Each structure stands twice: as structure tokens, then as C-alpha cells.
Amino acid sequence: MHEIATESYVRHEIYERTRLPVASATTLIREAYVSEEFFAVERERVFASGWVAVGCADGVREPGDVLVVDVAGRSVLVVRGRDGALRAFYNVCRHRGTRLLETGERRVGRLVRCPYHRWAYDLEGRCVGTPLFTDSGIPEDQRAIFATDHAPAFDRRDYGLLGVAVAAFGPLILVNLDREPEPLADHLGDLPGRLAGYRLDEWRLARTAHYRVAANYKLVAENFMEYYHLPWVHPGLVKVSPLEAHHRWQGTGMYSGMCTSPIAPDTEDGGWQALDPLPGLSEDDALSARFVWLFPNVALNVLPNHLFLIHATPVAAGVTEEATYLLTQPETVDDRSAQDAIDRLAAFWDTVNREDIAIVQRVQEGLATTPFPGGPMCYRFEEPVHRFQNMIADRIVGLRRVPAGDATAEAPMFTSAQQTP
């Protein structure tokens, strides 16, 4: 199959058909999903140059809790400081470049220590041991050998950990590798205001799950943000999230949004109403489910009684690591009487997610094994996909812009009047 030259991926004309109005547009080029060369460009221009979700804030709640993540091939650690603030650093010792922490480490206590020469850093990233410091493990009579007092022009204050911009939005931790990162507020747009009634900071982590998906992360994203496939892929989900109840819910910001309003009652196949709703919700929020894909790699399913996050980490052109987080009200997390209801919610989401994984893997197989030229957008259902694909195209060609929202807060999908992203 003919492949596009790598240097062409950053040219505007490659995306001309995707740039058309949604009713006339076709999907991104095939190489965007199967080419390792495109993946390398995308990693630098999307994931290494903007805000990227890296995990769940409730998993790094206590001072000394740490999260070790990969962002665009760079290892980053996020730690909760003694002052309660989140900080992020490149996961590398300033002495010889040793990786400090392994993926999967969750706790460092007071200090981050290098396994090579035992340099140590506090939770604010300051170098505090080089080593001649408390509890270094060096015998008293040998410490003079390691003294650095006589070293010319050496000052530990010059060798703190290399910082990375980090911020929280509700239950999410986001980092930005740019040296001069854009304000997170520009990235989020009006989303914090639109979700303010759900008090996202209050939810607590109740369940997690992990999946390895043999598909490009964009297929995971695009599948999430359209419901055209529901009747055929999700026989249980479509009963509680009916097609006719779907609304476009799109404001200004780097996200694609839609909602189900009203949510239908649970059925024998499961549903979303096993727990009591958050007190104090507005009438609209109390009966709606908000579905947001925050660019580039995380889904927020915001419901009256729980949150469900889908965090996609691209590993290769055709491989995605996926973590999911189910969050509930604080009083239910440790409530023994609520555990069965939480388990039912987790099982329902697991079923839905596995159905999605199976179908996007089939899309990946089709793209990888045929000269697929791109397909049309089904404009009634795929406006959010069109919006997302144009965000991708913007970043690949070097455009930094935030798409605007719709004139109306909610637009029913089943109407003849369509909004153009």
C-alpha cells in the first residue's frame, strides 16, 4: 500500500477533506491511525506540546503519594507535597541522569531517592542530599570521603529536579511539557463552568480497571464521542442512553461534548442509577449524563451519582493503554452497604468498555490491512468526531487555536437544523 511521506504529514493540504463542513467532510487520512511515522510526529506535536491528562488526582491524595507516567516518551513523576500541592518533575536524577522511580511506584514518603548514588530530593524538588545527609546509610567514619564542601562552584540549589507544569481539573491530573505552557483555562474553555454544578473536586475513587487495546488511541476517542454505533454494539447501554435522548452539548474549549437527557431507568442489563444522586444538583444536571472527551486523551462521563473516567495512553500507532476510574460520593466509598451498587456500576461500565474495545480493534484491523481512502462523516451523529479530528489536524500542522462552541447550550441530535463545529 502506498504510504504518505513523513514530511507531508505537517502540510495543510493533507487535511483539506477533513477541513470541509461536517456534511461534506471525510475522515482523517489512514496513516493517522496505522503509521508509526505519523505517530512520532503526533507524539511531539500533540502530546509533548500541550495539556495532557495523566491520571486521577484522588490516587495522589496524601503527602508523599506519587504517580509515575509516560508522556510523549518522557518519564514524569507527579507528587503530592507536604503543603497539599501537586508538583511534577522529569523522572531523572540531576547527577547522572538515572531514572529515579519505576512505573507503578505509588509512595515515596519524605524524599525521592536516586537508586544509583543516593542523591535525594524533597517533595518540592529541591536537592537535599548528594549524599551526606540524614539516614544516608553511609558509615560515620566514611562520610568525609563523600563530602562536597570543597567542590568548586557546586551548589545543591542548582540541581533540583527539572519541573513540569501540572494542574488538576476536578478528578484529573494534567501536565504540560512546554517550557512556556498555555494557561490550562484556555485549554478547558467553558467546561469548568458547564460542569460546576457537579462539584467535581468532591468525588472519591472507588474502582479502577486497566485494558490494553490493539488500536490507535484516536479510535478510542472517536468511538466515545459518537453514538451512531449504540444499537449494534451496545444493546444494554442503548436502553439507558436512548438515541432520541442525545443532545450535542458543545461549548468553547479543547473538548467534544454531548449528553443524554433524560437518563432512562436501569434495566436487567444494568444501568447508571444504582447510587443516590449528588445533593444540590440543578434539575437539568440531576436528570442528564454529560459525556466529554477532553483533548487529547481522556473521557469524562459525568452523571448525577458518579463519575467515570477513561484515560487513554498511546503506546504505538496501533496500541493504547487504557485506565478507567469510577468515582462516587465520599460517603459511599467506605460504606459497606454501597459496595454492591458500586460493583454493579463497575460491571456495567466494564461491559460497555469491552464492547467498545472489541469494535475499535476491528476498525484498526481494517485500516491496517486495506488501502482505505477515508470515509464520509454521518453529520447527524459525528459532529463531535469532526471537531476532534480538526483539533488533531490543527496541532499536526502547527496551529494553536481553541474551537468555539454552539449558539445553544444543548442541541438535539435528531433535528434537521445542525450546528457546524
Q: Using one digit for the tens of pLDDT, what is the confidence trace for 184-224?
A: 999 999 999 999 999 999 999 999 999 999 999 999 999 88
CA angle in degrees (0–180, nearest 5) for 415-419-421:
145
Dist CA 384 CA 399 (whole Å): 19
**More confident of the two residues 185 and 142:** 185
Dist CA 4 CA 35 (whole Å): 9
pLDDT surpassing 80 at residue 145 = no
Is 26 inside any structural domain? no
Is 1 inside any structural domain? no
pLDDT surpassing 50 at residue 420 = no
Residues 160 and 196 in one domain: no
Dist CA 287 CA 233 (whole Å): 24
* Average pLDDT of span 72-98: 96
pLDDT surpassing 70 at residue 154 = no
C-alpha cell at 90: 522529569
Residues 132 and 201 in one domain: no
Give the orientation angle of helix 383-397 with respect to helix 217-224, to 10 degrees.
150
Q: Which stretch, 65-79, 236-250, 329-343, has highest mean pLDDT?
A: 65-79
Residues 128 and 212 in one domain: no
Residues 138 and 242 in one domain: no
Name the least confident of 84-93, 95-104, 133-142, 398-407. Answer: 133-142
Q: What's the whole-number average pLDDT of the chain?
A: 88
Residues 397 and 298 in one domain: yes
Residues 142 and 274 in one domain: no
Of the pLDDT bands very low, low, confident and very high (cuts 50, 70, 90), residue 416 is very low
Residue 357 sits in a domain of what CATH number? 3.90.380.10
Residues 62 and 114 in one domain: yes
Residues 222 and 157 in one domain: no
56 strand-pairing partners: 172
Contact 230, 241 (CB under 8 A): yes
pLDDT surpassing 90 at residue 80 = yes
Q: CA dihedral in degrees (295, 330, 259, 51; nearest 10)?
A: -10
What pLDDT score does 233 carry?
65
- Tally of domains in the chain: 2
10-29 pLDDT, tens per residue? 999 999 999 999 889 999 99
**More confident of the two residues 418 and 177:** 177
Of the pLDDT bands very low, low, confident and very high (cuts 50, 70, 90), residue 248 is confident
Is 355 inside any structural domain? yes
Is 24 inside any structural domain? no
Residues 83 and 198 in one domain: no
Is 37 inside any structural domain? no
| Boundaries of domain holding 127 | 53-165
Residues 232 and 119 in one domain: no
248 strand-pairing partners: 258, 411
Can you tell me which residue has the cell 460491571? 347
Residue at 264: amino acid letter: A
Q: C-alpha distances in angstroms, 12 versus 8, 16, 229, 396, 398? A: 9, 7, 30, 9, 9
Residue at 402: amino acid letter: V
* Average pLDDT of span 238-253: 80
Is 419 inside any structural domain? no
358-408 pLDDT, tens per residue? 999 999 999 999 999 988 887 677 888 999 999 999 999 999 999 998 888
pLDDT surpassing 90 at residue 304 = yes
Dist CA 257 CA 140 (whole Å): 62
Residue 95 sits in a domain of what CATH number? 2.102.10.10
Is 402 inside any structural domain? yes
Of the pLDDT bands very low, low, confident and very high (cuts 50, 70, 90), residue 137 is low
Residues 70 and 144 in one domain: yes
Dist CA 238 CA 230 (whole Å): 6
Residues 154 and 214 in one domain: no
Is 16 inside any structural domain? no
